[in-house]
A and B are shown apart, each in its own frame.
Chain A
Amino acid sequence: MDAAVTTLKFESKAVIPTDPRTKLFLTVTVSTIMITGGTGGFMNFVRPCLMACPIIFLLLSRKWVAAARFAVTYAILFALELTVLPLLTGTWNFILGAAVGIYTHMLPGFIMGYYLVSTTTVSEFVAAMERMHVPEKIVIPVSVVFRFFPTVKEEYAAIRDAMKMRGITTLRSPMKMLEYRVVPLMMSIAKIGEELSAAALTRGLGAPQKRTNICKIGFGPLDIFFFLLAIPCWVGFFIC
């Protein structure tokens, strides 16, 4: 069989070829260390590096505007933290401290999560989970979850349009607002779920034998490089 036959075109979202497991690992690294990691000593070096990490990845995935926006936000918050924060006291200190803290701590993790989700296809996720020996009972629902996020978005947009046309966007009562949004959403999601299961079952989902997965994933030099980079961060995390 020649090479041309064995390659198939998949939806490709990735810009640099890294394994989904690497991306997952990096996301967990950045978010865990940034949110729950300590500070001081060696971590003072690790933290800025990890903060820069998401911006680099955004640049790599050609999200110029987003990268610029995050870079500017970081810069401003850092400047504030260094200059204004020590001068403030009381409530203002609290509010600014919270804002700076939340942004600098949470944002990197979120951006990594965004990068992970936006550059990985569901098939790659599934392949990665199978390689990590995650049982099928988890793989199937997780792939459905990813299949349904865009569906929820589509359905919710349609419902919001319908509400606009009906003129029921004003806040009459919070209970009603919840009801009008959640109930139709749940109705259509339940219906779509039912049709989706029927379709998936007629195509043999749930057969006892092992599934094949034609999605190719695997570690390359780039993956090893990233893993090596992450090691000192984790060392710092456990020491500090």
Chain B
Amino acid sequence: MKVESKKLQAKDLINVGVFTAIYFVIFFAGMMLGYIPIFIPLLGLVCPILCGIPFMLYLTKVKKFGMVSLTGIILGLLNLIMGSGVLVLIFGIIFGVLGDVILRAGKYQSWKCTLLGNGVFSLWIMGYVSRMFLTRDTFFASLVSSYGQEYVDTLMSYTPGWMYPVLFVVTFIGGILGALLGKAVLKKHFEKAGIA
């Protein structure tokens, strides 16, 4: 009857808001586990897995370019307000857009692109830890006076430089697993219930 516009309409923007809200809530619940620095590797794994559930349902609702970018930007902004630094916002924008590009390549339908897309989008979480690696010396130097040398030494030994790429991989895998979990829940519940 009428051609669905390719651009994000008011209806889509509301959906973006709804699902970003639930994504953030679930992400935050997962993050409670990982706010202690030694759990950071787990954070990269657990959060994207949990967030796969809202993300997969989200993908059935909007399917337009810009949705994931907006989610990334808003997640970044929320984290910025909460004091996680500008880096999270930058990562949110970068990986939001990248995720969108990958999903669009699969016309928001292809399962392969969805897997890859959620994997890549999940990397925005790396904004949390990147400062520890990118500006390693200043970061640890700034910690010494308030956390104490012992703490810094331990943290440094937990997070050697090679951990950085490893964390990326772990988070990416978390994103893939999240998409799989999301898909399973979608099949098990949302499709049967008629809301997907």
Identify whether the interface residues of A are mostly helix, strand, loop, or mixed. helix
A137, B81: Cβ atoms closer than 8 Å: no
The distance in angstroms between the C-alpha atoms of A98 and B36, with both chains bound, is 8
Provide the residues of chain B in CB contact with A40, threshold 8 Å.
Answer: 145
Known: A32-B86, A152-B21. A138 touches B151 (CB 8 A): no
Taking the complex as formed, is B84 at the interface, i.e. its CB lies under 8 A from any CB of chain A? Answer: yes
Q: Of residues 108 to 161 in A, which have CB atoms within 8 Å of B's CB atoms? A: 109-110, 112-113, 116, 136-138, 140-145, 147-149, 152
Identify whether the interface residues of B are mostly helix, strand, loop, or mixed. helix
B150, A193: Cβ atoms closer than 8 Å: no
Which of A34, A85, A142, A200 counts the most B-chain CB atoms under 10 A from its CB?
Answer: A142
Provide the residues of chain A in CB contact with B18, threshold 8 Å.
Answer: 144, 148, 189-190, 192-193, 196
Query: What residue of chain A has the Cβ atom nearest to residue B23's Cβ?
Result: A145
Q: B9, B10, B146: which contacts A39 (Cβ < 8 A)? A: B146
Known: A106-B83, A110-B82. A101 touches B22 (CB 8 A): no
- 9 A-B pairs within 8 Å (CB atoms) are namely A31-B81, A38-B142, A97-B151, A98-B147, A109-B83, A145-B74, A182-B26, A185-B22, A193-B18
Contacts A88-B150, A190-B57 known; list 10 others, CB within 8 Å: A31-B82, A36-B142, A85-B148, A98-B37, A112-B83, A141-B16, A182-B53, A189-B22, A200-B10, A201-B10
Residues of A within 8 A of B (CB): 24, 27-28, 30-32, 34-40, 81, 85-86, 88-90, 93-94, 97-98, 100-102, 104-106, 109-110, 112-113, 116, 136-138, 140-145, 147-149, 152, 178-179, 182-183, 185-187, 189-193, 196-197, 200-201, 205-206
Residues of B within 8 A of A (CB): 8-11, 13-22, 24-26, 35-37, 50, 53-54, 57, 61, 66, 70, 73-74, 77-78, 80-86, 131, 138, 141-148, 150-151, 154, 185, 189-190, 193, 195
